[in-house]
Structure 1
Amino acid sequence: MKKLAVMALLAGALSLNLATPAHAAPTFIPDLDITSFDGTELDANLFVPESPAPASGYPTVLFTNSWALDKHQYLLQAKELANRGYLVMSHSTRGFGASGGTVDVTGPATVADARVLIDWLESNYPVGNLGLAGISYGAGTSLVVAAADPRVDAVAALSGWSDIVEGLYPNETVNLVWGSLLTFTAFNLDPSVDTIWSNLRNGTDIDSVYDFAAPRSALSYVEQLNSNGTAVLMSNNFADYLFKPNSMTHLYSLLDGPKKLMLNPGTHAIGETLGGNEGHIWATSFRWFDRFVKGETNGIDSEPKVDMTVRISNKLEQFDDFPVTDRSTHYYLHPRLSYFNNGRMKTGPYKGWGWSNDFHGGADTAAGTGIPLISDALEGFGIPVFTNMNGINGYHAIEYNSPVHWDTFKIRGTPTLDLWIKPSKPEVQLQVHLYDTDPFGWGRLITHAPVTLHNADVGRAQKVSLELFTTSYDVPPGHVVTLAIDTEGAIYQKPADTRYEIEVPYRRDKQSVLTIPHL
């Protein structure tokens, strides 16, 4: 599995559309054993440019591996940078590859290791400005290290996280597929990590999960990143149901220094690994380093800060900032007549008599995100998740249709939902999906989000508010937007008791509203 992943990474790097200056090949040192602060041996490799160091020192980049991968992951990217005059080290974080120790999920030891590696570089080579880069685990770790060490001038965080809780416990819902995949593919996990995952799965000592996640999440270090003046580039993918774009857009909004945000189709790490957007992600990352590590005036800091690629069409758009639009449509939910009908979404509030609809747990429906991991990856190649909307069981779900859009409806950003419900049990789960539905009843998934209530007021009306995952999608003319809500999803852990009823009340003073940002 690791070999396949490395081959994919190397193949993706070949798609980089970058002009390499013609000069002598860099020197490659394939194996370095560097002793960390506690005696742990860290495995690394190094590319040294053949050109002499500038007076200010070599522009330097430290690559950090993705989960379950090692120092070999970025060989082609590292060589490319070295050909451009960079000193480049790649390392295996503790617990991965040939490095010693156990995986502590960007814990204090892993952060200290990175600082030791920077010390080693400075002791052995003339180091100038410094950049950190990585995909997934390497991205989240790079952000935390940059906050801890003011020597870091720039970061390229690709498919990373800024909030571990948002990744593994979105809206208090256990991310079962991704969490299990992570724990099963790390063979040297620190015992504390197993304990945290067990607590999350069992719903026990949840405070310990938050205590574990905070020091490992860049959102805890915004003040330090701003104080350090770190230039931060982030790239995330719309169908990444591990590290969703939402927490990264939140981090982006809080940063004061140079920053850039790229949002792409596809799932976790696929766009970055397979040369996403025709090499745009890596090419932009290299330009970021050229500007903020190498010191070249290449104009990237005066270009639009947000690159957003539309789902399915893969059309690249650029915007000055995020949110990319201040326009939105508020859709008020109106009732359905029976289990065999859909409710309606209107731009005006519900003003009728008191009414209610209900739907029930106990079964999944055709509303969903497709085949876990596979469907998410295919979206990056323009293959959407299709659903027969007419086949969604109205006893176990509820649907609402918007009016027909006669012009292209360009959704850009983070839809939100305020939904009034009366649950029949204290623990219930909602799986909220947004679809583009054609005149024949076929729906294409636009976005989704789960939410789990663990201590709901049984039998009392209460408002559930949530963000759906950030998206970019064009609804074609003649189609409608459908909000479909059921109680189970293939990615997420279900409540222990799924036999419950959700009642949706409709009252003048209890308006359920879906808000969609658009151009």
Structure 2
Amino acid sequence: MKTIALPALLAAALSCTFIPLSPAAQAAPTFVADLDITSFDGTELDANLFIPETPAPAGGYPTVLFTNSWVLDKHQYLLQAKALAENGYLVMSYSTRGFGASGGLVDVAGDNTITDARVLIDWLEDHYPVGKLGMAGISYGAGVSLITAAQDPRVDAVAALSGWSDVIEGLYPGNTVNLVWGTILTTTAFNLDPEVDTIWANLRATENIQGVKEFAAPRSALSYVPELNSNGTAVLMSNNFADYLFKPNSMTRLYSLLDGPKKLLLNPGTHAVTETLGGNNGHIWATTFRWFDHYLKGDANGIDSEPKVDMTVRISNEIEQFDDFPVTDTTTRYHLHPRLSYFNNASMKTSPYNGWGWSNDFHGGADTKAGTGIPVISDALEGFGIPVYTNMTGINGYYAIEYNSPVHWSTFKIRGTPTLEMWIKPSKPEVQLQVHLYDTGPLGLGRLITHAPLTLHDAAVGQAQKVSLELFTTSYDVPPGHVVTLAIDTQGAIYQKPADTNYEIEVPYRSSRQSVLTIPHL
């Protein structure tokens, strides 16, 4: 186990790129700053190229194609590209269509964008001796890299950093509109395909959701698992616990379905910031370089025999390694027990509820102190070991309900994806649950461990029904003397709330209707 400090300067996160640990330089590469490459439909793609000064190996140059993040361009990876080129790689970076100086419209990893990437591979092979080839990118570049690799067996390895494997899970988690991140995406791309605006409008209005799913499926790597497995692509994935755009859950799901070489990095911090600033003191980029050195250059550096999962503990920023994901089979099942009034907390116990029939209720109409902090900013600060704090005693019991676990007298090491199965009786067909898990100290100060939203759009009014959800994957140590608190309210700063928030959610307690929170831990 190793302790690694996260880097500083959050304000520059989206405009600079961390300098990775550079491989031993062989010779200064040649840099071609501007390349205009014509794609299949006449669209001009803007690219640059690093060419090693050393002769190509017998099998051709190991080659990397870098794909930009959303709104960024071909300059994003200059430092990484140069470092790879100094180590014998042929490296191209380009601006995907609609971004930078490239023409065309942004189609969100649609057919045109994926075909562009394949055209660039053709161009590289036509002009240089290309050996094994890898693709890499952060955020948008990660998704484009995964989908291209699935559709083109010439891609031998991928490094998908802060990527996605399921568009729906990103923009509509738990059937809840991801308002903040969706708005950021749709308002920052100036050359957006009009179809994307229509999809976002339909999602916000809860209209033609089937059409949204049909748009999302070919843009989601989960749709291409058989192709990735058939191609034998070596896939490295890195995602962040407080990434509320591309949560780690869908990437852990993709990881579990891959049969070929694979590695998963799970880190504190928010979307793209951890990778952009060189998260974990360069661990992400150093691992990416080693991944390519082994699967593109053939270096016997041991990465193929190391544990497949690197999980960094939130706040302490200690890296732990595990053989696979899930990292543990040990769980604690907490059964929810009732509270006496709005002024009391309910409880969670390892024993089922066997008392009289009882019920609690809480209401929509207002947000509470339970939440994820300031959107984007609080999430990013978490990567620096600064968690979201909440005064748990100040959560209004009329608008929320809290369940406290027994005191943990030794460190409770949560590792993985907590789940909740809960019986509710809603008063309206559309209701929303914002589910939070906190580490609460003796003085009532809570630190956010994880959360997840759930929106019911067609609930059976006045009828008891069981709902289920996954909270976002996490790694967190609850200190001795603290309790775990499950806090549930009906609004969150990141998410779009129902149009009608005047509703009540009743929680029934019966021996035949057990509500259970399951927490994986070491």
TM-score (ref. length: structure 1): 0.98
Aligned equivalent of 1:315:
318
- Please list, as runs of the form range in 1=range in 2, the aligned pairs for 1:21-420 lying within 5 A after superposition: 21-420=24-423
Local SS of the residue matching 1:117:
helix
- Does the aligned pair in 2 maintain the 1:9–1:74 contact within 8 Å? no
Local SS of the residue matching 2:425:
strand
1:461 lines up with 2:464 in the alignment? yes
- Does the aligned pair in 1 maintain the 2:13–2:273 contact within 8 Å? no
- The amino acid of 1:17's aligned partner reads L
Q: Deviations over 1:360-411 (max 9, x none)?
A: 0000000000000000000000000000000000000000000000000000
Q: Deviations over 1:92-132 (max 9, x none)?
A: 00000000000000000000000000000000000000000
Match of 1:17 among 8, 15, 21: 21
- The amino acid of 2:354's aligned partner reads K
- Does the aligned pair in 2 maintain the 1:9–1:73 contact within 8 Å? no
- Does the aligned pair in 2 maintain the 1:6–1:69 contact within 8 Å? no
- Does the aligned pair in 2 maintain the 1:10–1:75 contact within 8 Å? no
Aligned equivalent of 1:435:
438
- Does the aligned pair in 1 maintain the 2:50–2:85 contact within 8 Å? yes
- Please list, as runs of the form range in 1=range in 2, the aligned pairs for 1:472-491 lying within 5 A after superposition: 472-491=475-494
- Does the aligned pair in 2 maintain the 1:447–1:470 contact within 8 Å? yes
Percent pairwise identity: 81
Aligned equivalent of 2:452:
449
What are structure 1's unaligned runs of at least 5 residues? none
Q: Deviations over 1:16-74 (max 9, x none)?
A: 234x3233210000000000000000000000000000010000000000000000000
My pick for the range that moved more, 292-301 or 360-369, is: 292-301
- Does the aligned pair in 2 maintain the 1:65–1:93 contact within 8 Å? yes
1:511 lines up with 2:509 in the alignment? no
Q: State the alpha-carbon separation in 1 of the partners of residues 455 and 328 from structure 2.
A: 29
TM-fit CA distance, 1:9: 6.2
Local SS of the residue matching 2:424:
strand
TM-fit CA distance, 1:6: 11
Q: State the alpha-carbon separation in 1 of the partners of residues 517 and 338 from structure 2.
A: 14
- Does the aligned pair in 1 maintain the 2:14–2:273 contact within 8 Å? no
Match of 1:425 among 418, 428, 437: 428
- Does the aligned pair in 2 maintain the 1:30–1:44 contact within 8 Å? yes
- The amino acid of 1:47's aligned partner reads F
User: Structure 1 residues 9 and 81, CA, compared in 2 at 3 Å: closer, same or farther?
Assistant: farther
Local SS of the residue matching 1:129:
strand
Q: State the alpha-carbon separation in 2 of the partners of residues 184 and 10 from structure 1.
A: 18
What are structure 2's unaligned runs of at least 5 residues? 1-8
- Does the aligned pair in 1 maintain the 2:17–2:76 contact within 8 Å? no
Q: State the alpha-carbon separation in 2 of the partners of residues 11 and 361 from structure 1.
A: 42
TM-fit CA distance, 1:294: 1.0
Aligned equivalent of 2:3:
none
Local SS of the residue matching 2:292:
helix
Q: State the alpha-carbon separation in 2 of the partners of residues 210 and 39 from structure 1.
A: 30
Q: How many pairs align?
A: 514
Local SS of the residue matching 1:13:
coil
- The amino acid of 1:255's aligned partner reads L
Q: State the alpha-carbon separation in 2 of the partners of residues 225 and 267 from structure 1.
A: 27
